[in-house]
A = this chain, B = another copy of it.
Amino acid sequence: MPDRRTVFFVSDRTGITAEMLGNSLLSQFDTLDFQRKTIPFVDTPERIDEVLKRIDDTAAAEGRRPLVFSSIVDEAMSILAPLESELGVKSSHAAGRTHGIANAAQYFARMEAINFTQAHDDGASTRDLAKAQVILIGVSRCGKTPTSLYLALQFGILAANFPLTPDDFVDKRLPGSIRHYKDKLFGLTIDPDRLTQIREARRPGSQYASLVNCRYEVREAQLLMQLEGVPALDATSRSIEEIATTIVHRAGLQRQIY
């Protein structure tokens, strides 16, 4: 592909920050096609020489310069200088401190959240639901599981999730086991066309995946949430990061890890 531009993310640690920043900027050029290559742990003069050679070789092979996003701390000093002056202390210059040090308290907070969330996925357990910081509800395959895991893994939040099923729509009531935790509930809704597409990938040709059934379930779930006063968010055109962040924001949740 002649229009494919190579992009390098280079870091002396994991490269996560360079990727985040770089991808955020590249998303502004959505008509272009990028070939992304992350090169982490570039932390010796030899590794730096290797990377420079690889970049030069790519430039020669493709006949144009690749883009390079680097979060090597030495180079980041131009950003650190004004911070040093504002904070009145010198920075530690330690390479990539962010993702590098495992803080014990944060480790335990994260593990507790992951264990809790896995144990309370898809209504698997109703024990200790009182400990949940949030309980996501919604129809099958609307995005509850990845959102719960993201909340646990990235924010250390104890996130349970519970499915709304046709039985609940007949009763027109919240399932008994979550009815007493109404202040912890947060609903996810989804466009029926999208839902049918997702369910078809899982159970092709089933009644469960049919558009008629998806329309019914989504409508009834939305009615139930309205009736019970449960705040809800449309997950259809949002990434998991965005859904999770929105829930933390709207539900006023306290993140446990940074």
- Interface positions of A (Cβ within 8 A of B): 5, 13-17, 19-21, 23-25, 27-32, 36, 38, 40-41, 65, 67, 71, 73, 76, 79-80, 83, 86-87, 89, 91-94, 96-102, 104, 108, 110-111, 114, 118, 121, 145-146, 149-150, 153, 197-198, 201, 236-242, 245-246, 249, 258
Contact = CB atoms under 8 A, between A and B. Distances in A.
Nearest to A99: B241
A258 B83 contact: no
26 contacts: A14-B241, A14-B242, A14-B245, A14-B246, A15-B245, A16-B245, A17-B24, A19-B258, A21-B21, A23-B98, A24-B97, A28-B83, A28-B91, A28-B92, A29-B83, A29-B92, A31-B92, A67-B86, A99-B239, A100-B238, A101-B239, A102-B236, A102-B237, A110-B240, A114-B145, A114-B149
Contacts of A17: 20-21, 24
A37 to B, nearest CB: 11
Nearest to A11: B245
Contact of A79 (B25, B73, B258): B25
A201 B36 CA distance: 41
Nearest to A102: B239
A147 B191 CA distance: 32
Contact of A118 (B29, B71, B118): B118
Contact of A146 (B28, B38, B92, B110): B110
A66 to B, nearest CB: 10
A76 B27 CA distance: 13
A89 B249 contact: no
